[in-house]
Amino acid sequence: MKKSTLFAFLIIAVSLLCFSNKIVHEYYISITSIDYNVESKSLEITQQFIAHDVEEAILKEYDIDLHLSEANEHPEADNYLIKYVNSRFKLTTDKEIKLTWVGKEVNLDETLYLYFQSNEIEKPSSLSVVNTCLTEVFHAQSNITHVNFAEKQLTQSFHQQKKTHTFIIK
């Protein structure tokens, strides 16, 4: 009896070790903050993702493994991140708003922050957002998006069924 219990424990331990390399999580959520800077009259965008989720999306889309924040990070990693986000995240007032890359950060917990900024724009009365990041890869992906204008914060969750929303600022 003792040998069979030890054997079962050993099988479970080996199985866990073998499969712990590729951890799958149940929740697929990103958070985007769009803040209007009154002084510079620009939109400042911060997007928060799980790094390996973005790497998987880029691998599927462009067949490129980014290896973010590793010694062998792809030399064009920033360009692929920009290209990916620009194809799935759009802001529009009366015309599409061009976003400029500011940079990225990858934390030890695999949180990836992407930073963008718009050119100077007057405070709009409405802002249309398309946010389909990662929804082509993860069917349960939810992109929570906060729009902040002075004291007013508006929030919308984007997913496969809800890809666009117009925020009324007033």
How many CB atoms neighbour CB 33 within 10 A? Answer: 16
Is there a domain that residue 36 lies in?
yes
pLDDT in tens, 11-39: 554 444 444 444 566 779 999 999 999 99
Query: Residue 69, CB half-sphere, CA atoms under 13 Å: how many?
Result: 16
| Count of domains observed in the chain | 1
Largest Cα span, the chain: 76
Query: Residue 90, CB half-sphere, CA atoms under 13 Å: how many?
Result: 12
Question: Could you tell me the residue range of the domain that residue 34 belongs to?
Answer: 27-168
How many CB atoms neighbour CB 59 within 10 A? Answer: 15
User: Would you give the distance in Å from CA 138 to the centre of its chain?
Assistant: 12
Provide the residue-wise pLDDT of the chain in tens; the chain has 170 residues.
555 554 444 455 444 444 444 456 677 999 999 999 999 999 999 999 999 999 999 999 999 999 999 999 999 999 999 999 999 999 999 899 999 999 999 999 999 999 999 999 999 999 999 999 999 999 999 999 999 998 889 999 999 999 999 999 97
pLDDT in tens, 118-128: 999 999 999 99
Is there a domain that residue 21 lies in?
no
